[in-house]
């Protein structure tokens, strides 16, 4: 078997040398098609992939419909994106899930101890204790805080790898203190470099934002009035109240729950419906019960996180690849017609139809591998150009090992598919007819 493969490879190389022009055209056609296809597929893979594999089907975003009923309201409409503080705290106290998190994004002033560093603004996330375990945040030093710290409004903080490098030179800073808006916080943990793509647990700050640099208990942030950023949806008269106060009708908190099975998810959905009915009877909710409990991938799909232009580009790239394959089929057919005499001689000397078919498929496969390498180089160039664009997701357009393997696999599959018809035609050449014409 290996001897025959080596023989077919030798014939393929002889054929390429004999028809350099046609071979180069086929390699170029395949390379261009594969390069365009893999550039768009890689962007699609990065933006549309699972941001937390193995766990995304157990993490659920929670929505409740707490808004007032107005003339524009239609039963079953999509509810408010986020929760009010009253509802988020009520669900957090109930602890109906394995883990639960209420949180919001923010910007906070950091006042470094090092006099050589000027105060600066850092992105922050005020959250409850389960955040780090729920979202698999990786720790370099220390750990997160516990529920007791939430209850005590503890002044503890987890910082990012980059902030630890900036403030403490990258050493273990657990136990050190940093100052946020003039308030001292004790460092309890330092994260490893961490970049969920997309930023699925809070889409209000941008789907492709980097994670926060500072994480602290949301209870502490509320007590110290440390502010919040992102989307605020308020209804009714606030009467001059802070929109982050407990009983103010403003939705501004993201709420996630971890559930271990489909039955637990259904139980939790019933609990949310029951809670909504209770709030309606109490006069807080005016609309009929309208809850949403979506796992990560459904949540991203509903929020249309993957840009529509990326989907369109993938279809266009596959269309271009199809055009390139059609051209390759035509070139391979032309090449097989030119070699009819050679094929007739081989058949007359005892080569079977199967051997001829295999020979031409091997030639197509070799073309595909060479075209795949060219396509890989063109895809790398295409991704570099994507990273230069102003799109918010551009910096994430990088090829990983699975996509590299897919590139070569797609090139091989495409070339073999393109080679089927020419190989079949070559295998059907009649040796008698070819010998008579010589």
Q: Quick: pLDDT tens for 59-113.
A: 999 999 998 877 777 777 889 899 999 999 999 999 999 999 999 999 999 999 8
Average confidence (pLDDT) over 329-351: 71
Mean pLDDT on 18-40: 84
Q: Are residues 395 and 433 in the same domain?
A: yes
Q: Tell me how far apart the alpha carbons of residues 337 and 36 are, in angstroms, rounded to a whole number.
A: 30
What DSSP string describes 233-272?
EE-S--TT--TTSTTS-EEEEEEEEE-SSHHHHHHHHHHH
Task: Tell whether 299 is covered by a domain.
Answer: no
Residue 88 lies in a domain: yes
**Total domains in the fold of the chain:** 2
Do 416 and 368 meet the contact criterion of CB atoms below 8 Å apart? yes
| Residues 271 and 122 placed together within one structural domain of the fold | yes
Residues 44 and 174 in one domain: no
Residues 6+ apart with CB under 8 A from 229: 104, 105, 106, 107, 205
- pLDDT, tens only, 216-234: 999 999 999 999 988 899 9
100-153: pLDDT as tens digits: 999 999 999 999 988 889 999 999 999 999 999 999 999 999 999 999 999 999
Nearest residue to 26 via CA among 320, 322, 329, 339: 329
Q: Tell me: pLDDT of 437 over 70.
A: no
- Identify the pLDDT of residue 157: 98
CA distance 370 to 310: 27
> Which pLDDT band holds residue 192 (cuts at 50, 70, 90)?
very high
Please check the confidence at residue 436 and state whether its pLDDT lies above 70: no
pLDDT for position 7: 64
More confident position, 306 or 243:
243
Of the three residues 290, 321, 337, the one that is the final residue of a domain is 290
**% of the chain residues with pLDDT over 90:** 43
Exposed, middle or buried, 414 (CB in 10 Å: 0-12/13-18/19+)? buried
Asked whether residue 2 carries a pLDDT value surpassing 60, the answer given is no
332 is a domain residue: yes
Over 70: is that where the pLDDT of 433 sits? Answer: no
pLDDT at 429 over 70: no
Q: End-to-end CA distance of the chain, in Å?
A: 33
**Residues 73 and 36 placed together within one structural domain of the fold:** no
Q: Is residue 57 part of a domain?
A: no
The answer to whether residue 315 is domain-embedded is: yes
Instruction: Specify the pLDDT at position 387.
Output: 83
Q: Is the pLDDT of residue 434 over 50?
A: no
What value does the mean pLDDT take over residues 54-62? 96
Are residues 283 and 316 part of one domain? Answer: no
Predicted confidence (pLDDT) per residue in 201-211, tens digit? 998 888 888 88
Helix (H) or strand (E) holding 338: helix 308-338
Task: For residue 207, give both structure tokens.
Answer: 């789907």
If asked whether residues 45 and 69 sit together in one domain, one would say no
Domain assignment present for 302: no
* Residues 70 and 40 reside in one and the same domain: no
Confidence of residue 297 (pLDDT cuts 50, 70, 90): very high
Considering the domain boundaries, does residue 71 fall inside one?
yes
* Residues 112 and 259 placed together within one structural domain of the fold: yes
> Which stretches within 54-181 are classed as H helix?
85-94, 131-134, 147-151, 161-168
Residue 249 CA to residue 243 CA, distance in Å, equals 8
Same-domain pairing of 110 and 144: yes
**What domain range is 355 assigned to?**
2-51+307-437
> Does the pLDDT value for residue 349 go beyond 80?
no
Task: Please indicate, yes or no, whether residues 31 and 78 belong to a single structural domain of this protein.
Answer: no
- Please check whether residue 321 lies inside any domain of the structure: yes
Task: Quote the pTM value.
Answer: 0.79
Of 226, 261, 290, the residue that ends a domain is: 290
pLDDT of residue 5: 65
* Residue-by-residue DSSP string for 415-428: HHHHHHHHHHHHHT
Answer yes or no: do 432 and 283 share one domain.
no
Question: Where is the domain boundary, 257, 290, 323?
Answer: 290
86 and 189 in a common domain: yes
């Amino acid at each position: 078997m290996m001897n025959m493969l080596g023989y077919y490879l030798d014939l393929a190389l002889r054929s390429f040398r004999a028809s350099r022009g046609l071979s180069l055209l086929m390699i170029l056609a395949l390379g261009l098609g594969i390069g365009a296809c893999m550039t768009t597929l890689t962007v699609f893979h990065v933006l549309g992939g699972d941001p937390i594999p193995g766990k995304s089907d157990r993490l659920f975003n929670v929505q409740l419909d707490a808004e007032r009923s107005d003339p524009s309201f239609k039963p079953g409409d999509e509810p408010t994106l986020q929760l009010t503080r009253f509802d988020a705290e009520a669900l957090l106290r109930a602890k109906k899930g394995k883990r639960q998190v209420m949180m919001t994004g923010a910007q906070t002033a950091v006042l470094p101890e090092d006099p050589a560093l000027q105060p600066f603004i850092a992105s922050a996330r005020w959250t409850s204790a389960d955040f780090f375990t729920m979202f698999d945040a990786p720790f370099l030093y220390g750990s997160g805080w516990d529920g007791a710290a939430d209850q005590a409004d503890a002044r503890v903080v987890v910082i990012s790898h980059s902030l630890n490098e900036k403030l403490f030179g990258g050493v273990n800073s657990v136990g050190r203190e940093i100052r946020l808006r003039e308030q001292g916080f004790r460092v309890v943990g330092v994260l490893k470099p961490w970049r969920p793509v997309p930023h699925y647990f809070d889409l209000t700050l941008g789907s492709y934002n980097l994670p926060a640099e500072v994480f602290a208990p949301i209870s502490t942030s509320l007590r110290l009035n440390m502010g919040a950023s992102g989307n605020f949806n308020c209804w009714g008269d606030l009467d001059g109240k802070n929109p982050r106060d407990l009983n103010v009708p403003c939705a501004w908190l993201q709420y996630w729950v971890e559930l271990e099975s489909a039955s637990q998810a259904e139980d939790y959905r019933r609990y949310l419906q029951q809670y909504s009915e209770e709030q309606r009877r109490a006069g807080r909710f005016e609309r009929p019960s309208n809850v949403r409990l979506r796992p990560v991938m459904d949540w991203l799909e509903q929020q249309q996180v993957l840009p529509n232009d990326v989907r369109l580009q993938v279809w266009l790239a596959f269309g271009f690849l199809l055009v390139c394959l059609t051209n390759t089929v035509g070139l391979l057919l032309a090449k097989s017609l030119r070699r009819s005499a050679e094929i007739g001689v081989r058949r007359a000397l005892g080569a079977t139809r199967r051997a001829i078919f295999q020979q031409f498929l091997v030639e197509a496969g070799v073309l595909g591998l060479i075209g795949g390498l060219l396509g890989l180089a063109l895809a790398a160039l295409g991704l570099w150009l994507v990273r230069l664009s102003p799109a918010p997701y551009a910096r994430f357009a990088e090829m990983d090992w699975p996509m590299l393997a897919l590139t070569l696999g797609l090139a091989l599959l495409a070339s073999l598919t393109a080679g089927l018809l020419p190989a079949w035609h070559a295998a059907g050449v009649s040796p008698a007819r070819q010998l008579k014409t010589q």
